Amino acid sequence: MSKRVAVILSGCGVYDGAEIHESVLTLLRLDQQGAQVQCFAPNVEQMHVINHLNGEEMPEKRNTLVEAARIARGEIKDVREARMEDFDALIVPGGFGSAKNLCDFAIKGADCSVQPDVLQLAQAFADARKPIGLICISPAMSARIFGEGVECTIGHDADTAAAIEKMGGVHKPCDVDGIVEDTNRKLVTTPAYMLAKSISEAASGITKLVDRVLELA
């Protein structure tokens, strides 16, 4: 029987939403492995909108769910509709939207909180001991989801690793093509574009993460 996987997106675009390459690589590998996938996103306003051509903030507002629908080709639902019981695993790609729209780590660092609907769903998976994969900056939410002692990686960035440690997480350095697995919590993490210099480098770790999450499921 094929595995059922929920994927949470955080908008569309690396600087203010979900990282598109990471999201597509995740969805591609899940499809290659025969998984049934449903994308979700919180139905909330993005923290801000960034012009991806010049990096400047734009004077407009956008909805995280509406923007994420671009990546999912419209096949996406409000995260409040997600039921842990309907899925075998959960994966969250990165991008600054993960640290801006799924939580406020980009602003508050170690004092961050996770968007309530996202937190409720992720903790339901954690409590049920169903595997979770967090990619790129998304592991910054690990301690909020699992509590103190959770092992994860964002690669080698010292400041982000220090914030994770301050929240009670245990950061494990990792290269772009590797994964870190907290076997007790069934959490799998990989650095992706925290380190990747190309889409193929990002794919190397994401492929391993997806495969391992499906094995654990």
Number of domains in the chain: 1
**Residue span of the structural domain in which 197 resides:** 4-216
Residue 182 is encoded by which pair of tokens?
């907290």
Q: How many whole angstroms separate alpha carbon 96 and alpha carbon 88?
A: 26
In tens, the pLDDT along 82-135 reads 999 999 999 999 999 999 999 999 999 999 999 999 999 999 999 999 999 999
pLDDT at residue 1 above 90?
A: no
Half-sphere exposure of 15 (CA within 13 A, CB side): 11
Residues serving a catalytic function are 136
pLDDT tens track for 160-172 = 999 999 999 999 9
Report the CATH number at residue 144.
3.40.50.880
C-alpha distance across the termini of the chain, in Å: 11
The angle formed by the CA atoms of residues 125, 131 and 132, to the nearest 5 degrees, is 75
User: What predicted TM-score, i.e. pTM, was given to this entire model?
Assistant: 0.98
Span 14-36, pLDDT tens digits? 999 999 999 999 999 999 999 99
Q: With contact defined as beta carbons under 8 Å apart, do 192 and 176 qualify?
A: yes
Angle at 211 between CA 2 and CA 101, to 5 degrees: 95
